Amino acid sequence: MLLCTPMKQPSAQPACGSMPIKFSYAVSRAIMSPNSRAMPGGQHPNIMLDQFHLFLGPARTRALVILLGLTGLISLILNALEPREDWMTTAQTMLLLIFLVGTVIIIGGRMDRQTRLRWLAILAPAVGAILLGVLFVPHLLLPLSGAAVGWIIAGGFVFRPRVPNTFQAAVRHLRKGEYEDAVESMNAVIKDDPDNENYYRFRAEVFRLWGKLDRARKDYEKMVALTPDSAVGYNGLAEVQLQSGRYAEAREAGLRALELAPEEWVAAYNLGMIEDRLEMASEAVTHLQQALQHRVPDARHRLLIQLYLARAYSRLGDETSVEKHVAQMRKEKNGLEEWQNLLTHEQAVSLRAVLADDIQLATDLVEGKVKLA
């Protein structure tokens, strides 16, 4: 599961600031990957692109790529035309504006209302200044463009989002393990802003740490009701259903998450894990192999993927593949040690309920004490 909350999630910055809450997130999200939308410094660019794609969803990502391709192609054609005429420069400027406005619409449509209004206040004056220069005072285009860039930079500070005090209080309570008080604070936050799906996700995480899985499920359901194209929401719903032992419902949510984020390894991994519980061996192999095709960044999850693949092939009677994946498990001993350390912590009650048997089996297989039948 995630160590921190995702991009757009206002909990990300305060939540990652102290060791107690870091461990709380590691415990509550350890089944999933470190696939966070809140970008910690130094992450690989591929992860950033994956998270951006996850944030937008497949439909908006395709629209953005098509917009970039069309405007870029037309601009290249205009560049190749000879002789150069004045209208070509104007046309290329308009193409740039079309791309920028289209990008704002595509990305802005995925944001919550407050974030969308904030960026509208930042970008609208800048776009207006450039349009003024292009259409009416072309001799002032350069200084107007400079002013537009300056306003965007300044607007980022002027319209910097503020985190509600009650939300900050919820984070403080979570750091101290005061889950009931954290939930009460989040109730007040949600009452003031009931349409912000990020707050429901944060409260769901608190409920999961607290062991209130049914209430966590309801918050994830509210999250996906507010944002039906949220792969993160469906992935969280799949996880909490898995923790509750409701495997059929977990698989349904997991399939939806994978549909929305087909290139995200986390969705395929979680679905494969659920199918392992359902003893759907062929389906588990398909989705776990799909997860491996993408970059799995940490040894913990690579270890479990190899374990579930070995168990799936055992159910299919393919002993050669079983031995192959057990051998791969032995290469992920660091991941096994990480799991063993996590499971010993007093806050890892829910994690032990889900993974203790798997980690014990992985330990025995790596040490050669048992073989999969």
pLDDT for 222-236, tens place per residue?
999 999 999 999 999
Rounded Cα distance between 142 and 133, Å, is 8
Which range of residues forms the domain containing residue 72?
Answer: 50-133
**CA of 341: how far to CAs of 254, 333, 355, 356, in Å?**
28, 12, 13, 12
Percent of all residues in the chain with a pLDDT value above 90, rounded to a whole number: 47
**CA of 10: how far to CAs of 37, 203, 220, in Å?**
11, 12, 17
Rounded Cα distance between 51 and 37, Å, is 6
- Predicted pLDDT at 183: 96
- Predicted pLDDT at 50: 59
Residue 84 pLDDT grade (very low, low, confident, very high; cuts 50, 70, 90): confident
CB 108 within 8 A of CB 116: yes
The model's pTM is 0.64
Residue 119 lies in a domain: yes
Residue 328 lies in a domain: no
Residue 85 lies in a domain: yes
CB 122 within 8 A of CB 152: yes
Residue 309 lies in a domain: no
Residue 362 lies in a domain: no
Rounded Cα distance between 317 and 269, Å, is 22
pLDDT for 123-178, tens place per residue?
888 888 887 887 788 788 788 888 888 888 887 777 766 667 888 899 999 888 89
Residue 78 lies in a domain: yes
The number of folded domains in the chain is 1
Residue 111 lies in a domain: yes
- Predicted pLDDT at 19: 27
Residue 141 lies in a domain: no
Rounded Cα distance between 210 and 305, Å, is 27
Q: HSE on the CB side for 208, CA within 13 Å?
A: 34
